Amino acid sequence: MPPPADIVKVAIEWPGAFPKLMEIDQVSASVCVWSLANHDQFALQHADSSNFYITEKNRNEIKNGAILRLTTSPAQNAQQLHERIQSSSMDAKLEALKDLANYSRDVTFAQEFINLDGISLLTQMVESGTERYQKLQKIMKPCFGDMLSFTLTAFVELMDHGIVSWDTFSVAFIKKIASYVNKFASDISILQRSLAILESMVLNSHDLYQKVAQEITIGQLIPHLQGTDQEIQTYTIAVINALFLKAPDDKRQVSCWEMANILAQKQLRSIILTHVIRAQRAINNEMAHQLYVLQVLTFNLLEDRMMTKMDPQDQAQRDIIFELRRIAFDAESEPNNSSGSIEKRKSMYTRDYKKLGFINHVNPAMDFTQTPPGMLALDNMLYFAKHHQDAYIRIVLENSSREDKHECPFGRSSIELTKMLCEILKVGELPSETCNDFHPMFFTHDRSFEEFFCICIQLLNKTWKEMRATSEDFNKVMQVVKEQIMRALTTKPSSLDQFKSKLQNLSYTEILKIRQSERMNQEDFQSRPILELKEKIQPEILELIKQQRLNRLVEGTCFRKLNSRRRQDKFWYCRLSPNHKVLHYGDLEESPQGEVPHDSLQDKLPVADIKAVVTGKDCPHMKEKGALKQNKEVLELAFSILYDSSGQLNFIAPDKHEYCVWTDGLNALLGKDMLSDLTRNDLDTLLSMEIKLRLLDLENIQIPDAPPPIPKEPSNYDFVYDCN
């Protein structure tokens, strides 16, 4: 008879004795110490690197083979550390702060320490500690640095549990943390934690935003970007992003334009390009995410212009259109007020506006009343006309000399292209919590969006000519241009020149070849014999895909834990056992470089206990997290394993590919169909390859749509040889 499900075999350590193997009941694990004297001063604790206490909430997570430690209770431990960190002995104080930094990761201990007003004690130590030990700094600088580092680490860990509001901190504390960004630039641990605290303050409190913004400037942060430590660079960009993202609504536009000026004046973009993107080292996932966020926030500066309609009565805005006309047709004679009538000038302007490709020839301002792209389209046109004047004049004059139906309307094209580029770059949308998709080329120019437009408008004109398009083909041309841009962007060009070069290789002829190849592959496989062959071999291919998914689950994946702010040290790993019976998972201190062994993952979940796999908004952690719930991209990467009556294992995949692999693999384990987009793509690809291989011997042979007819029976069977 199998043992009860609540009984687990564990090893328990306690001071002065050898570890003892024993069976305990999960239901009473937290009270099994009651047989000791003063039992309320003791508790069980995981003996691994986490040192987490066993409580009523997590006792069901105790697994067979776990190693537990009998130790002082969280309340007792918190009380002792609260007293020890106030010791007059520097050595004792340092050791106590080191222990506090370690224990503070456990929410049970954190709650007890916070109940003792421990956060206030730490903030007081930070506010007054520098002055109190200033005299000792010269002779005990290493000790002082370590002490401050452990204090800030403990503070970060305690606040990360979300028990205490960030709104409770004083201006003096903020000033002190901000000062550390400058004073302790050489001490990596202090600087890193100070930046992390500033980021959290901005992200979690509207009231603290303005206070932090007054204490820290971009000029103070730039030197940290010029260093060689990527973690410091990552936290620095994270603070910049937080200040950028959390500007109050009533100051959002002012702050955005101030930030735009700062980006230009302080050469922040070029420093990031030189010291981060083009540094001689790989960019890790967290840095890639922060660069992506900065890219999105920078493009979101364009949202105001994108959503601003042109006022046909605004003379300053009308002057921009006049300037476009002047640059294009400056060589032509300009009638003066005395020699030409008003009607004649109006007629000439109407003719020129038609040549410029506006839909409304009489009043072009009406073309810019649609949002998006609003005034942003006109800004792009003026930038192109002023900074790429030769190309602008050539495009306008080329098209004005063509027949009416074959001219590429520059005005209409610019408006639609601007709208398309805003959609491609998702201007106005908030950055995703998990995306790492930044484009290095957008960090190579202070006016990267405008330069991007200039390259694409020339591409559009070139494609128009290659397609020999007419006005009726406008939408077709825009579809081709979008495909050219998207295909070039997927190659992640490192500069705008490289992007331009990629587009040169993606001519209309090349796009036609790609489309034709894709279409031929589809058409070739639609005949009846091929469809029957597909149906026959599809189960084999699906089994192959299933095995690949399960093999990937056996290798495992590192997942990130998302909370109120992204933390580099919050990772966990999950993998399937080689026999496909158990899921092993556990927390990690840092992102692993390869596979994580099963024995280092402390938690297990039998596959037989899994009841269901849910995705998206049906996941428990998406219902709980209001901020993440609103983010479409996070919803698309979320899935959960439901087990037992209320047990759950929540995931947020690092990307769409891993999401598909894991949901497919888990469904395969449960005997369900694999329904992801990745499975459909893999199935199509593998079926296509397999059929091509099988049809190699039939090259240049026409396969009939119907099977050949069965021949008539012979008149006799004399040709049959009887072996008997």
Of the candidates 452, 454, 377, 379, the one whose C-alpha atom is nearest the C-alpha of residue 419 is 377
Tell me what pLDDT residue 133 has.
47
The answer, yes or no, to whether residue 567 has pLDDT greater than 50, is no
Decide: residue 506, CB within 10 A, 0-12 exposed, 13-18 middle, 19+ buried: buried
> Which residue did the predictor score with more confidence, 15 or 601?
601
Which two structure tokens, joined as six digits, stand for 597? 């062994």
- Determine the residue type at 583: L
> Which contacts qualify for 481-488: CB closer than 8 Å, 24 or more apart?
481/417, 481/420, 481/456, 482/420, 482/424, 483/511, 484/459, 484/511, 485/420, 485/421, 485/424, 485/456, 485/459, 486/424
Contact 550, 664 (CB under 8 A): no
> Which residue did the predictor score with more confidence, 230 or 2?
230
* Mean predicted confidence (pLDDT) in 544-573: 80
* Mean predicted confidence (pLDDT) in 631-644: 84
Tell me what pLDDT residue 496 has.
96
Contact 123, 170 (CB under 8 A): yes
Tell me what pLDDT residue 391 has.
95
Report how far apart the first and last C-alpha atoms of the chain are (Å, whole number): 64
The answer, yes or no, to whether residue 358 has pLDDT greater than 60, is yes
> Which residue did the predictor score with more confidence, 469 or 595?
469
The answer, yes or no, to whether residue 333 has pLDDT greater than 50, is no
Q: Which residue has the tokens 């730039």?
A: 222
> Which residue did the predictor score with more confidence, 233 or 522?
233
Contact 326, 472 (CB under 8 A): no
Tell me what pLDDT residue 142 has.
57
Helix boundaries (H) for 228-374: 230-245, 252-265, 268-272, 285-299, 303-306, 315-329, 342-355
Which two structure tokens, joined as six digits, stand for 674? 């694999």
* Mean predicted confidence (pLDDT) in 417-434: 92
The answer, yes or no, to whether residue 104 has pLDDT greater than 80, is yes
Winning range, highest mean pLDDT, from 22-26, 551-555, 594-598: 551-555
Tell me what pLDDT residue 235 has.
94
CA distances from 699 to 686, 695, 702, 705 (A): 19, 7, 8, 16
Q: Which residue has the tokens 């990467």?
A: 637
Tell me what pLDDT residue 78 has.
93
The answer, yes or no, to whether residue 568 has pLDDT greater than 60, is no
Contact 120, 128 (CB under 8 A): no
> Which residue did the predictor score with more confidence, 648 or 434?
648
The answer, yes or no, to whether residue 2 has pLDDT greater than 80, is no
Tell me what pLDDT residue 248 has.
66
The answer, yes or no, to whether residue 335 has pLDDT greater than 50, is no
The answer, yes or no, to whether residue 127 has pLDDT greater than 80, is yes
The answer, yes or no, to whether residue 628 has pLDDT greater than 70, is no
Tell me what pLDDT residue 502 has.
95
Three-state DSSP at 611 gives strand
Confidence of residue 504 (pLDDT cuts 50, 70, 90): very high
* Mean predicted confidence (pLDDT) in 481-489: 96
Report the chain's mean pLDDT, rounded to a whole number: 84
Tell me what pLDDT residue 565 has.
52
* Mean predicted confidence (pLDDT) in 212-226: 87
Three-state DSSP at 38 gives coil
The reported pTM is: 0.77
**pLDDT tens digits along 345-355:** 788 888 899 99
Tell me what pLDDT residue 53 has.
85
Confidence of residue 442 (pLDDT cuts 50, 70, 90): very high
> Which residue did the predictor score with more confidence, 220 or 60?
220
> Which residue did the predictor score with more confidence, 650 or 569?
650
> Which residue did the predictor score with more confidence, 569 or 714?
714
- Determine the residue type at 538: Q
> Which residue did the predictor score with more confidence, 574 or 333?
574
The answer, yes or no, to whether residue 620 has pLDDT greater than 70, is yes
Confidence of residue 129 (pLDDT cuts 50, 70, 90): low
> Which residue did the predictor score with more confidence, 540 or 703?
540
Percent of the chain with pLDDT over 90: 46
**pLDDT tens digits along 5-61:** 567 778 888 776 777 787 776 555 544 554 566 667 788 887 776 678 888 777 767
**pLDDT tens digits along 676-700:** 999 999 998 898 888 888 877 766 6
How would you list the strands of the sheet with 647-652, edge to edge?
A: 610-615, 638-643, 647-652
Tell me what pLDDT residue 5 has.
58
* Mean predicted confidence (pLDDT) in 558-582: 77
Confidence of residue 615 (pLDDT cuts 50, 70, 90): very high
